[in-house]
Amino acid sequence: EIVLTQSPGTLSLSPGERATLSCRASQSLSDTYLGWYQQRPGQAPRLLISGAFRRATGIPDRFSGSGSGTDFTLTISRLEPEDSAVYYCQQYGSSVWTFGPGTKVEIK
Amino acid sequence: EVQLLQSGAEVKKAGESLQISCQGSGYSFINYWIGWVRQMPGKGLEWVGIFCPADSDARYSPSFRGRVTLSADKSVNTAYLQWSSLQASDTARYFCARLPGTVGIPSTMVTTDGYFDYWGQGTLVTVSS
């Protein structure tokens, strides 16, 4: 089973700042098999990125994904108040699909 | 518009059975796998399993295999997650979500379509001991 580790646990930034969220896999993973989700308080998760860098329909271009191998990154280029949420990565490149523990983004 | 509408909150006792539902609309229900994800109180997301309405193929996470059963009724565009004997540790919110592709998922589970593009609102299951 591929274990995903996300860092930092919590990120506290001001509107307009850049957020960089990390997702590290315990084994090398093709970038084809990595997704990112946003979960706002009290809501269902929402797909942001699939295949490590493909934005989902309707997702603003200030969200971008990158990475390969064992290290992947979600970048939010200019934070807005509505970006306050927990962000999860997910891998689907092994027999057991797994999610990372999440990074909480707080907007000051 | 693709929508997944889940059944309402449930309060049960340990040992009881339960089935929760997820009704799809706005797309061809039979052609897309439905997945289930657990979120325990204050915790992260865990993959439970996926189900194909077209041929009733079910795949389970090892953590949930034998504990839950996935199924669907194509005639009413509805997928189900079922427990035969609940435990207090089953207390969580359960989300259904759609996989994006219409092709089969290989037995290896390695697929470019293994992510969830549309989600239901979640069903809160509370089990008392």
Residues of B with Cβ-Cβ distance to A96 under 8 angstroms: 47, 61-62, 109
pLDDT reported for residue B111: 86
Per DSSP, B77 falls in state T
Q: Do the Cβ atoms of B46 and A47 come within 8 Å? A: no
- The pLDDT of residue A32 is above 90: no
- Average pLDDT score, chain B: 96
pLDDT: is B103 or A22 the higher one?
A22
Residue A20 CB contacts under 8 Å (≥ 6 apart), including other chains: A73, A74, A75
Residues of A with Cβ-Cβ distance to B65 under 8 angstroms: none
Query: What does residue B76 show for φ and ψ, rounded to 5 degrees?
Result: -125, 15
Mean pLDDT for the stretch of residues A85-92: 97
Element (H, E) at A59: none
- The pLDDT of residue A63 is above 90: yes
Note whether A50 contacts B: Cβ–Cβ < 8 A: yes
pLDDT reported for residue A55: 97
Note whether A99 contacts B: Cβ–Cβ < 8 A: yes
pLDDT reported for residue A30: 80
Altogether, the residues listed in chain B come to a count of 129
Integer angstrom CA distances of residue B35 from A17, A53, B2, B57: 35, 22, 15, 12
Residues of A with Cβ-Cβ distance to B116 under 8 angstroms: 35, 37, 45, 47, 90
pLDDT reported for residue B95: 98
- C-alpha B85 chain-centroid distance: 17
pLDDT reported for residue B110: 86
Nearest of B16, B36, B30 to residue B88 by alpha carbon = B16
Using one digit for the tens of pLDDT, what is the confidence trace for B55-96? 999 999 999 999 999 999 999 999 999 999 999 999 999 999
Q: Do the Cβ atoms of A37 and B109 come within 8 Å? A: no
Mean pLDDT for the stretch of residues B36-46: 98
Note whether A41 contacts B: Cβ–Cβ < 8 A: no
* DSSP E strand boundaries for A10-96: 10-13, 19-29, 34-39, 46-50, 54-55, 63-76, 85-91
pLDDT reported for residue B71: 97
Mutate which of A30, A95, A97, A99 to disrupt the B interface (most B C-beta within 10 Å)? Answer: A97
Q: Which of the four pLDDT bands, split at 50, 70 and 90, describes residue A51?
A: very high
**Closest-approach residue (CA) in chain A for B114:** A92
- Average pLDDT score, chain A: 96
- The pLDDT of residue A31 is above 80: no
CA atoms of B98 and B5, how far apart (whole Å): 12
Q: Do the Cβ atoms of A44 and B95 come within 8 Å? A: yes
CA atoms of B25 and B98, how far apart (whole Å): 11
Mean pLDDT for the stretch of residues A66-89: 96
